[in-house]
Structure 1
Amino acid sequence: MKWWNGNIKGSSALSKQQNLLQQCLAGWPRRGKTLLEINCGQGAFSPLLWECGFDLTVTELRPELRMQAAAAMGGRAEVLAASDDYLPFEDNFFDCAVLHLAAGDAKRIDAAVQEALRVSSRGIAVTFWNSSSLAYALHRLQGSKSPWPGPPHSWWQVWRIVRSANLGKLCGMSTLTGPRRSWDGTCPLSCYTRRLRTPFGAWGIIRVDLEPARPVTPMPLKVKRHRLRSPEPVLECGSKNSLNSRQTSSHG
């Protein structure tokens, strides 16, 4: 992911993205919970995730970005080298994961989503730059020479890929809804960059809340009727020998 370092518009857009991510993850427990950030890039979101209270681990494949992310974290989280489609962790190793989609086709996206789901036990959040947004459409129509902030992905394609896993409840939200010139907080159109539960923002998040494992109730033991002992008479007092002795004395 590319960011506008030192650019007012870029700083304002990043702030809105961070706010959206924080709101999206607000329902997840934090204290004592582990979170994996995949494709952390320069670490634009890593400090925020750590400040939210997660026990954070981040991965990034490109060494130059990994160095920048490590500098941004300052030793507060472990920064590891890993590809999003092959994570060196066991199943359900983390409670949650945040996957920032990198460039790739549908197969690559599916592999990355499957890996994020594999290593997470509670849920994942998938972030991406949305090619189905108004801002991206205007960007293409106007032939803007400035590069798009990150690799674009279709909201509907990502939604279908995540939904195909059929592992939990999905929800989505986006921000930066207006054209790029409105991303600057000083622009009169900046009101159109607020968070929306629609797929029309330039930057979106799709969250999956995995269903908790249900306890298994063991089947009751089945005892066949003929195995039960037949009822026996119970003596009210004394033993069988004492009863016989009383009967003998009465006859005498």
Structure 2
Amino acid sequence: MGYVFDFHDARNYDGWMLKRKNRFAADLESRLMLGMLDPAAGESILDIGCGTGASCLPLLEKGLDVTGIDPSPYMLDILSETLGNRVSLYRGVAEDLPFDDNSFNHACLFTSLEFVDNPQKALEEAFRVAKDRVFIGFLNRYAITGIGRRVRGIFTPTIYNRATFFSVWEIKGMVRKLMGPVPVCWRTVCQLPGPWSTWMKQIEGSGLVQRFPFGTFAGMVVTLLPRFRTRPLAIRYQPKKVGHMAAGTAGCSGMAPSNGFETSHRQSDEKR
């Protein structure tokens, strides 16, 4: 199951999102997700580890049919208060999703893979319930910000003490192990220091900056290919009944074969 956010964690996270700097960073991450996932309005998506709804709201604004699942009832309560009935909510864990195969067009794990016990199983479940694309957003292990968070966690208890950080190559390796050579694309958000303005968003959105592998937040889109299961089928075969043989054939079958002596004897009698 991994770490489940309690009441204080949920409130602290919701308060953290109210700060302008953090909202700016969250907006950059959401832009990256929507730009890479490129969903069409009306399509369905499952937000795995939806939390208090930081990733749900941009999906709703895009016109998607959003379903959220999270193991924390406190997170789901805050999300329900914020978005009401606009999102279908379920309580559950990423490693065991209560949905059928191919139930959604897309699925996303938005900074939720860090808090599960079995990341590979969580990815496998996401690939199972989605039929088009899966977005994986995670905190970069090799980002300067990520290193700083881990160092601060040594001296001060933080939620990041419960998190497992990943690199782009680690996530890509897990995807390849599960799905084989499917199309995979990754980008990052560097969260460069500076004023939080429109031109900063343009810099962060440039292809050159997003291809930097050590950005604070990394996003990866996996395009799912159709996979077919085959099973052997028993073929029922009933031989046709043999019909009656022709009369002439039946008569001939009862005749004894003649030999050469009998034939030559008959011919000599006729000459006499």
Scaled by the length of structure 1, the TM-score of the pair is: 0.71
Of the candidates 119, 124, 128, which is equivalent to residue 118 of structure 1?
A: 128
Q: Deviations over 1:9-45 (max 9, x none)?
A: 212211211211121222x3x2442111100011011
State whether structure 2 residue 36 is matched by structure 1 residue 36: no
C-alpha separation between the residues in 2 aligned to 1:193 and 1:145? 31
Written as runs of structure 1 = structure 2, the 5 A alignment for 1:64-75 is: 64-75=74-85
Q: Deviations over 1:203-237 (max 9, x none)?
A: 111110112469xxxxxxxxxxxxxxxxxxxxxxx
Contact 1:8 1:184 in 2 (8 A): no
Written as runs of structure 1 = structure 2, the 5 A alignment for 1:7-46 is: 7-26=19-38, 28=39, 30-46=40-56
Runs of 4 or more off by more than 3 Å in structure 1?
Answer: 102-105, 138-150, 188-195
C-alpha separation between the residues in 2 aligned to 1:82 and 1:104? 13
C-alpha separation between the residues in 2 aligned to 1:52 and 1:190? 19
C-alpha separation between the residues in 1 aligned to 2:200 and 2:59? 29
5+ residue gaps, structure 1, are 215-252
Written as runs of structure 1 = structure 2, the 5 A alignment for 1:124-203 is: 124-140=134-150, 147=158, 151-155=163-167, 156-167=169-180, 168-178=182-192, 182=193, 185=196, 193-194=204-205, 196-203=210-217
C-alpha separation between the residues in 1 aligned to 2:158 and 2:195? 17
Structure having the higher helix fraction is 2
The one-letter amino acid paired with 1:196 is: Q
- What is the RMSD computed on CA atoms of the aligned residues? 3.1
C-alpha separation between the residues in 2 aligned to 1:183 and 1:93? 42
Change (3 A) 1:91 1:183: farther
| Identity between Structure 1 and Structure 2 (%) | 23
SS at 1:112's partner residue?
Answer: helix
Contact 2:115 2:164 in 1 (8 A): no
C-alpha separation between the residues in 2 aligned to 1:129 and 1:183? 20
5+ residue gaps, structure 2, are 1-9, 229-272
Q: Deviations over 1:140-195 (max 9, x none)?
A: 567785947783422122221122123521001110354xxx27627x99887555
Change (3 A) 1:206 1:41: same
Contact 1:5 1:11 in 2 (8 A): yes
C-alpha separation between the residues in 2 aligned to 1:15 and 1:144? 30
